[in-house]
Chain A
Amino acid sequence: RKEVEQDPGPFNVPEGATVAFNCTYSNSASQSFFWYRQDCRKEPKLLMSVYSSGNEDGRFTAQLNRASQYISLLIRDSKLSDSATYLCVVNAMGAAGNKLTFGGGTRVLVKP
């Protein structure tokens, strides 16, 4: 089982619709969680951190479920510019210190 797993998609989303997807992690000692956005052939960029109580940033809502070991990202009122691959990132303490593990990414395609 991979340490961090995501549905690769693609999620085909009509413009203006809502889309949500999850990311599961296997290490129960994981400490912090992030969502990154990666556009084709570009570097990942931080979208938002994920807090225990859940957090919202504009049209984006992130939630953490420690009991079931997953985080989620919800995008409301999807824009064409939201088309990208969304990477789930989990930070856990490893033998060499803090270690970030990336999920495989979920591809989102927003269409007119």
Chain B
Amino acid sequence: GAVVSQHPSRVICKSGTSVKIECRSLDFQATTMFWYRQFPKQSLMLMATSNEGSKATYEQGVEKDKFLINHASLTLSTLTVTSAHPEDSSFYICSARVLSGNTIYFGEGSWLTVV
């Protein structure tokens, strides 16, 4: 079946630095990828919708200059957390919509800890 790979699965970074998370669709093309954040014991919150070749659409309250999203190809989207702060520590998950349908597949998620 379809597979979405997310990397790194875990990352620890220092406050003030930037960290990049990659999301790849391994065996299908995805014009649209989604980035979510999930705090402990809470549901997934959509951060932004990433469309291949165009600017991402951010949800209200999400700082686009802090969470940089790039979707340069049909199989890769990246999320860069800039000037990371301990409050950014969270579980970040990407998902990709299969080009021909509505089904969404999720990456394995990335645990970010900012110290």
Which positions in A face B, CB cutoff 8 Å?
Answer: 32, 34, 41-46, 49, 87, 89, 91, 96-105
Q: Pick from A32, A34, A91, A102: contact of B44, CB below 8 A.
A: A102
Most buried by A among B34, B44, B95: B44
When C-beta atoms are compared, the residue in chain B nearest to A105 turns out to be B43
Which positions in B face A, CB cutoff 8 Å?
Answer: 6, 32, 34, 36, 42-46, 49, 51, 57, 91, 93, 95, 97, 102-109
Q: How would you classify the secondary structure of chain B's contact residues: helix, strand, loop or mixed? A: strand
Q: Write 29 A-B pairs (CB below 8 A) sorted by A numbering.
A: A32-B102, A34-B104, A42-B108, A43-B106, A43-B107, A43-B109, A44-B44, A44-B93, A46-B103, A49-B102, A49-B103, A87-B44, A89-B104, A96-B49, A97-B49, A97-B51, A97-B57, A98-B97, A99-B46, A99-B49, A100-B34, A100-B95, A100-B104, A101-B46, A102-B45, A102-B46, A104-B42, A104-B43, A105-B43
